[in-house]
Amino acid sequence: MSDVPFPAIAAAIKTTLEAQGFTRLIGAEVVAVEPGVVVMALDRREEVLQQNGLFHGGAIAYLVDNTTTAAAATVLQRGERSVLTAEYKVNFLAPSRGDRLTCRAEIVKPGRMLTVVEAKVTCRTGGEDKLVAVGLATIAHVDRPKGS
Amino acid sequence: MSDVPFPAIAAAIKTTLEAQGFTRLIGAEVVAVEPGVVVMALDRREEVLQQNGLFHGGAIAYLVDNTTTAAAATVLQRGERSVLTAEYKVNFLAPSRGDRLTCRAEIVKPGRMLTVVEAKVTCRTGGEDKLVAVGLATIAHVDRPKGS
Amino acid sequence: MSDVPFPAIAAAIKTTLEAQGFTRLIGAEVVAVEPGVVVMALDRREEVLQQNGLFHGGAIAYLVDNTTTAAAATVLQRGERSVLTAEYKVNFLAPSRGDRLTCRAEIVKPGRMLTVVEAKVTCRTGGEDKLVAVGLATIAHVDRPKGS
Amino acid sequence: MSDVPFPAIAAAIKTTLEAQGFTRLIGAEVVAVEPGVVVMALDRREEVLQQNGLFHGGAIAYLVDNTTTAAAATVLQRGERSVLTAEYKVNFLAPSRGDRLTCRAEIVKPGRMLTVVEAKVTCRTGGEDKLVAVGLATIAHVDRPKGS
């Protein structure tokens, strides 16, 4: 992608994420795509909560999954390669009782084979953003199949 | 819960999981609840996939989140305590191209304060169950607020 | 420990770490103990390397283990409680070819039951500190046995 | 390594591990090397303990680090590739008070680019082996530099 201007790359990443069936089901939105950084958000509604009225841990993990993988995609060096999530860890820090989750993923270390990305998830509660989860992900760079 | 027979505990766990807004949105089902083990499954449909037609990593993480936490809940010793997900890690092993995801969580080590649970996620492809992800979770035992 | 001035707490943590049999064997030193932060360092010598002349991953994990646990100990509220490492994850980012490893652990979220701590490990190479690993740890607060 | 008989591969792995400066310092031994499996052990002595007389968490992490990486090395397909630890997680399950730690790492999923390995660490206490830690590791397959 070395000859593609970054705004076009960012637009392609945003379009890809928002077109995922799972993203449309959950109703998450892409807030920002910058070199090395992707931010997504999810508003509170009954369908993304667990039994105690908190955002479901799975919804938080979904945001960590998508933003960390997409953050790695922002720094792909060549058009013929793609990224895949190898693994991630999520630590839940506080109950997410608020109105809106925001997950910001930022590359810690880009690599040719593996890129390591961290994520911070905040929940807006009474006008304030409270840190509710952190994630640490390993994203693999893979060759795209010929002709795809 | 020491005086409650296990089938009643299992039924309560199944009901709680299936009543979650997020579980109803995703359409997952509880397949089994046994002492130390919880199994959930999710059938393939467009709404739970990512852009390449695979089950979304976030859907896999949701299953790991719910089953590991519920597996820890099966061994709670007393009615006044509850469980919370402290953290988990998920490793993605193979693309989940099949028809149905099944996640089986089993306690590795129960504890008074922390219970450690592992999860194995398989995807049924052409009649065969293929291992597509593994998880390792730390679940915290917390006192339920008085009067709740 | 609420009535104990912080310098006394810091000195006790430093003494405890440096008196560990394993710390003396490895030859690591405590560089700083501040509220929520612990820094340790390890100089290069043959005995802490692996087969290619890099610092051994196990030496890096040792630093992450000790600094994250000790960072949580800096914020203990009362004398009757202690801390134990529940789990951690380490990501290796680059080969640690340099002269000296430094690991800085800092609390992300203190808690009554669990404290989450992150660690950054740098390796001084040619006068420059290069980030070689990151860690994310969950530390449990436990009651000290009566009379101990 | 496809033309090299497995006993020769196993012997090379054992020799490499036991020749590491850090392994000699710690005094660990390689107990078994089989296809997909590596077992190492460490006997109790003051130099590998922490302040309460338990095996140090860093010694456990060292075993997880070495055995998981070496387990991935047992299945390398070709002589020109090597393995590197990308990341691992360790969960501590019980205090390791016994005489001897044994860590058994076994491949969960081999891959061309990444191999996922799990580890179980037991501590022999009063003639019985008690599970004290579990690990989950991602090992990267890397091309060896030309001419090395």
Give the residue from chain A lying closest to C115, CA to CA.
Answer: A93
The helix/strand/coil state of D24 is helix
CB contact under 8 A, B131 and D116: no
C10 has pLDDT over 60: yes
User: Does position B132 have pLDDT exceeding 90, yes or no?
Assistant: yes
Query: Distance between terminal CA atoms of chain B?
Result: 15
**What is the structure's pLDDT at C140?**
97
Instruction: Choose the closest CB to C113 out of B87, B116, B140.
Output: B140
Q: What is the rounded CA–CA span in Å between residue A81 and residue C40?
A: 39
Sign of the dihedral through C-alpha C73, C74, C76, C79: positive
d(CA A70, CA D88): 22
- Token pair 């002269």 is found at C99
For chains C and D, CB pairs below 8 A equal 113
Taking CB atoms and an 8 Å cutoff, what residues of chain A touch B92?
A: 84-87
The total of other beta-carbon atoms located within 10 Å of residue C11's CB is 12
Q: Which of A50, A51, A89 minimises the CB distance to B87?
A: A89
> Which residues of chain C have a Cβ shorter than 8 Å from any chain D Cβ?
16, 19-22, 24-26, 45-51, 56-59, 61-66, 69, 84-92
Task: Identify the burial level of D93 via C-beta atoms within 10 angstroms of its C-beta, where 0-12 means exposed, 13-18 middle and 19 or more buried.
Answer: buried
- D85: closest chain A residue by CA: A114
Instruction: Check if the beta carbon of residue B76 is closer than 8 Å to that of residue B16.
Output: no
Q: State the burial class of residue A3 (Cβ atoms within 10 Å of its Cβ: 0-12, 13-18, 19+).
A: exposed
Q: Given pLDDT bands bounded at 50, 70 and 90, which one contains residue C79? A: low
Q: Which residues, listed in sequence order, are joined to residue A133 by a DSSP beta bridge?
A: A92, A121
CA distance A12 to A17: 9
Q: What is the least distance, in Å, from the CA of A2 to any CA of chain D?
A: 24
The pLDDT of residue B76 is above 90: no
pLDDT digits (tens, 9 = 90+) for C101-136: 999 999 999 998 999 999 999 999 989 999 999 999
Q: Determine whether the interchain pair C91/A136 forms a contact, defined as Cβ–Cβ distance below 8 Å.
A: yes
Q: Hey, are the CB atoms on A22 and B49 less than 8 Å from each other?
A: yes
Residue B15 backbone phi and psi in degrees, to 5: -65, -45
Distances (CA, A) of C58 to A109, B119, C62, C72, D26: 21, 26, 6, 21, 10
Which of D106, D118, D136 should one mutate to test binding to chain B, selecting the residue with the greatest count of B CBs within 10 A?
D136
Measured CA to CA, the distance from residue B47 to residue B10 in angstroms comes to: 29
Lookup: tokens for D109: 């999923």
Strand pairing category for A37-43 and A29-34: antiparallel
Do residues B124 and B103 lie in contact, with contact meaning Cβ atoms separated by under 8 Å? no
CB atoms within 10 A of CB C127: 7
Structure confidence at residue C78 as a pLDDT band (50, 70, 90): low
Neighbours of A142 (CB within 10 A): 15
Mean pLDDT value of segment B90-96: 97
| pLDDT confidence tier of residue A4, bands split at 50, 70 and 90 | confident
Return the residue of D nearest to C22 by Cα. Answer: D48
Helix (H) or strand (E) holding D117: strand D114-125
Give the pLDDT confidence of D106-132 residue by residue, as tens digits.
999 999 899 999 999 999 998 999 999
For position C68, what pLDDT does the model report?
Answer: 98
User: What confidence score (pLDDT) does residue B147 get?
Assistant: 43
Q: Percent of chain B at pLDDT above 90?
A: 85
Q: Å from A43 to nearest chain C CA?
A: 24
Beta partners for residue B89, in sequence order: A89, B136
In tens, the pLDDT along A24-77 reads 999 999 999 999 999 999 999 999 999 999 999 999 999 999 999 999 999 987
User: In sequence order, what E strands does B11-62 have?
Assistant: 29-34, 37-43
Q: How many residue pairs from chains A and C have C-beta atoms closer than 8 A?
A: 34
A14, A15, A20, A25 alpha-carbon torsion, rounded to 10°: 80
Max Cα–Cα distance, chain B, nearest Å: 51
A41 within 8 A of A29, measured Cβ to Cβ = yes
Query: What phi, psi does B82 have (nearest 5°)?
Result: -130, 180
Chain C residues lying within 8 Å of D58, measured CB to CB? 22, 26, 58-59, 61-63, 65-66
Q: What is the pLDDT of residue A46?
A: 97
The pLDDT score that the predictor gives to residue B81 is 77
**B113 and C140: CB-CB below 8 Å?**
yes
**Residue D92 reports pLDDT greater than 70:** yes
Instruction: Name the token pair of A64.
Output: 């960590």
- What's the mean per-residue pLDDT of chain C? 93
Give exposure, D40-70, as e/b (b: 16+ Cβ within 10 Å).
bbbebeebbbbeeebbbbbbbbbbbbbbbbb
Q: How confident is the model at residue B79 (pLDDT cuts 50, 70, 90)?
A: low
Contact across the interface for D65 and C58, Cβ inside 8 Å: yes
Cα torsion A62, A63, A67, A69 to 10°: value is: -10
DSSP three-state, residue A93? coil
- Strands D100-109, D114-125: pairing is antiparallel
Please report the sign of the dihedral spanned by the C-alpha atoms of residue A19, residue A25, residue A26, residue A29: positive
- Return d(Cα D133, Cα C90) in angstroms, integer: 15
Interchain pair C22, D47: CB under 8 A: yes
Q: Identify the pLDDT of residue C1.
A: 47
pLDDT digits (tens, 9 = 90+) for D26-81: 999 999 999 999 999 999 999 999 999 999 999 999 999 999 999 999 998 755 47
How far is the alpha carbon of D126 from chain A, nearest alpha carbon, in Å?
Answer: 35
Asked if residue B50 has pLDDT above 70, the reply is yes
Per CB-CB distance under 8 Å, the chain D contacts of C88 are 89-90
Which chain D residues are closer than 8 Å to B111 by Cβ? 93
- Grade residue B91 by pLDDT with cuts at 50, 70 and 90: very high
DSSP structure class, residue D4: S
Mutate to test the interface with A, among C64, C87, C90, C91 (most CBs of A within 10 A): C91
pLDDT per position as a tens digit, A96-128: 999 999 999 999 999 989 999 999 999 999 899
Chain C: partners with 3+ C-beta pairs within 8 Å: A, B, D
Q: What is the pLDDT of residue A143?
A: 77
pLDDT at C148: 39
pLDDT average, residue stretch B128-146: 89
Looking at chain C, the whole-number percentage of residues with pLDDT higher than 70 is 93
Answer whether A89 sits within 8 Å of D89, measured CB to CB: yes
The alpha carbon of residue C14 is apart from the nearest alpha carbon of chain D, in Å, by 12
Which of B106, B109, B120, B123 would best serve as a mutation to test chain D binding (most D beta carbons within 10 A)? B109
Size of interface A-B (CB pairs under 8 A): 113
CB atoms within 10 A of CB C48: 25
Looking at residue A76, what is its pLDDT? 87
Inspect the interface and report whether the beta carbons of A47 and B24 lie closer than 8 Å: yes
Tell me how far CA of residue C36 lies from CA of A9, B122, B138, C105, in angstroms. Answer: 40, 41, 23, 8
